[in-house]
Amino acid sequence: MPMEERTVFHKIRDGELPAEIVQSDEDVMVFKDIHPKAPTHLLFIPKHFVASIADVTPETAHLPGLLILKAQQFAKEQGISGYKLTFHVGEGGGQEVPYLHLHFMSEEQIA
């Protein structure tokens, strides 16, 4: 993809833009939202780029599930019992950054 089309999340994923990274493995990166809307507000992104839920294909349909599984595991590890998971889809759905991401919000604090 041309450099000018790379989003801020590409740059965070590739270490070119600082972020408060909470977790990162081969498949998924988790970092704190820069403008938190809850005491805990994290963003889960796949390392493999997909722009949005609207762009998921049969080949990439596992990625939203993987983000949900990572969020569930993270909550268990942190002892968080209640949380909200949200995908914004398209500009009309409130999506500002065209890189697939799962919002994880909780009234509970992480360690």
Residues designated as active site: 101
Q: How many CA atoms lie within 13 A of 8 on its CB side?
A: 9
C-alpha angle 13-88-71 in degrees, rounded to nearest 5:
60
55 or 76, CB closer to ligand 5GP?
55
Residues that bind ligand 5GP (CB under 6 A): 8, 19, 31-35, 43, 88, 94-97
CB of 24 to ligand 5GP, least distance (A): 13
Query: How far, in Å, CA of 66 to CA of 10, rounded?
Result: 18
31 or 83, CB closer to ligand 5GP?
31
Q: In degrees rounded to 5, what are phi and psi of residue 45?
A: -125, 145
- Could you tell me which residues are beta bridge partners of residue 21? 31
32 or 48, CB closer to ligand 5GP?
32
CB of 20 to ligand 5GP, least distance (A): 7
Query: How far, in Å, CA of 66 to CA of 59, rounded?
Result: 13
CB of 41 to ligand 5GP, least distance (A): 7
